[in-house]
């Protein structure tokens, strides 16, 4: 296997800024920076006097609209008023009820709760702070909450290694703050395409963080052990002969008989030669062959010492 180490950026599994859904001012806050909160836990309370007043008015409007609609329903049954006039009163009552329900829901936003379990990373309010409903520049950010167990680590794999990185592949996460210690992770998803500018593929690795040793925003390295599927086939340099038929090696086939195999030679690694064509992996070859070895002659095999060379290359078996 081939080792690949890539720089990675840590991101929270979930992270969001909490904004108010109603205008008002902060009555109280219940969570501060660093607090661990559960989903649905109360974070703050907002006083909404304008909404309260609008709600009271809407309730009064609905009450009178409902009474009016009931009366006109009786009148249209007695044919005192037209059906058109009755329909208008009924729809007016429905509109008043919809407005009331909307304001009741808005009043329910007086309580700010955690959308998911995590840690409070920012508190931007204090008691008495005037807050405005909305998001971005239009609203007042209240809290920022992050869920950091597990963490997502994003790396960018080069084109040459992208085919070897698949979902489920194990990884080791290394950070300078913990020398000599690594954290187990696993590839959860890949982009499935290369960035045309950088020729890299985004890869997401998830790492458990039960002890909260790692933080969102950290920098680290991710180590993969990849199967080198494109490793070249090599033969010992002293197994090669250049004969009248071209470059050949003496191979041992069925029945321990000699067969001279023509090959196409690639790179020269010194003690080994790369074979581009003509030889399969794990083919047995003869070391230091001579032209005296005739085609089809039977030989006795003696294992030879493997030469030192490229650890990632696929070697053919050799014999003497």
Residues of the chain with pLDDT under 50: 309-313
Residue 77: what are its φ and ψ, rounded to 5°? -65, -30
What's the confidence (pLDDT) of residue 107?
75
Closest CA to 112 of 58, 204, 37, 194: 37
Say how far apart CA 149 and CA 137 lie, in whole Å. 30
DSSP at 311 = T
Question: Tell me, what's the pLDDT at 229?
Answer: 61
Question: Whole-angstrom Cα distance, residue 84 to residue 72?
Answer: 11
Q: In sequence order, what DSSP letters do the residues of 164-222 get, joined into one string? A: G--TT-EEEEE-TTSTT-EEEEEEEEE-SS--TTT-EEEEEEEE--TT--S-TT-EEEE
Domains of the chain: 2-12+150-226 (2.40.30.170), 49-109 (1.10.287.470), 233-319 (2.40.420.20)
Strand partners for 274? 234
Residues 6+ apart with CB under 8 A from 38: 114, 117
φ and ψ at residue 195, rounded to 5 degrees? -70, 120
The predicted structure's pLDDT at residue 311: 45
pTM exceeds 0.85, yes or no: no
Q: What are phi and psi of 145, to 5 degrees?
A: -125, 140
The sign of the CA dihedral 142, 147, 151, 156 is negative
pLDDT digits (tens, 9 = 90+) for 9-50: 999 999 999 998 888 889 899 899 989 999 999 999 988 877
Given a contact cutoff of 8 angstroms between Cβ atoms, the answer to whether 249 and 263 are in contact is yes
CA distance 3 to 245: 40
Cα–Cα distance, 188 to 97 (Å, whole number): 48
Strands of 314-315's sheet in order across: 264-268, 272-277, 233-236, 314-315
pLDDT for res 305:
62
- Structure-token match 């050949």, residue found: 248
- 171, β-bridge pairs: 185, 224
C-alpha distance from residue 285 to each of 207, 241, 245, 270, 297 (Å): 46, 12, 18, 18, 14
Residue 289 token pair: 């062959």
Whether residue 150 is preceded by a cis peptide bond, meaning omega within 30 degrees of 0, is yes
């Amino acid at each position: 296997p081939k080792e690949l180490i890539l720089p990675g950026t840590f991101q929270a599994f979930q992270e969001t800024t909490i904004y108010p859904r109603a205008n008002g001012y902060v009555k109280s806050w219940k969570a501060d920076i660093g607090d661990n909160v559960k989903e649905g836990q109360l974070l703050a309370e907002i006083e909404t006097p304008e909404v309260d007043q609008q709600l009271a008015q809407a309730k009064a409007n609905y009450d009178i609209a409902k009474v009016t609609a009931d009366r006109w329903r009786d009148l249209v049954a007695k044919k005192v008023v037209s059906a058109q006039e009755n329909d208008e009163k009924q729809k007016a009552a429905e509109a008043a009820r919809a407005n009331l329900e909307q304001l009741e829901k808005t009043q329910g936003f007086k309580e700010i709760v955690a959308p998911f379990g995590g840690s409070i990373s920012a508190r931007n309010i204090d008691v008495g702070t005037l807050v405005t409903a909305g998001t971005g520049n239009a609203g007042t950010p209240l809290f920022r909450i992050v869920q950091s167990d597990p963490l997502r680590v994003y790396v960018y794999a080069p084109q040459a290694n992208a085919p070897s990185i698949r979902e489920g592949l194990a990884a080791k996460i290394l950070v300078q703050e913990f020398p000599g210690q690594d954290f187990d992770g696993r590839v959860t998803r890949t982009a499935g395409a290369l960035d045309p500018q950088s020729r890299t593929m985004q890869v997401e690795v998830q790492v458990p963080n039960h002890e909260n040793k790692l933080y969102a925003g950290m920098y680290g390295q991710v180590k993969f052990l990849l199967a080198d599927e494109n490793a070249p086939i090599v033969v010992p340099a002293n197994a090669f002969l250049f004969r009248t038929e071209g470059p050949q090696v003496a191979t041992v086939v069925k029945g321990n008989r000699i067969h001279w195999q023509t090959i196409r030679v690639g790179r020269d690694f010194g003690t080994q030669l790369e074979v581009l064509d003509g030889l399969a992996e794990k083919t047995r070859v003869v070391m230091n062959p001579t032209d005296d070895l005739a085609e089809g002659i039977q030989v006795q095999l003696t294992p030879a010492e493997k030469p030192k060379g490229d650890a990632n290359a696929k070697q053919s078996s050799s014999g003497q």
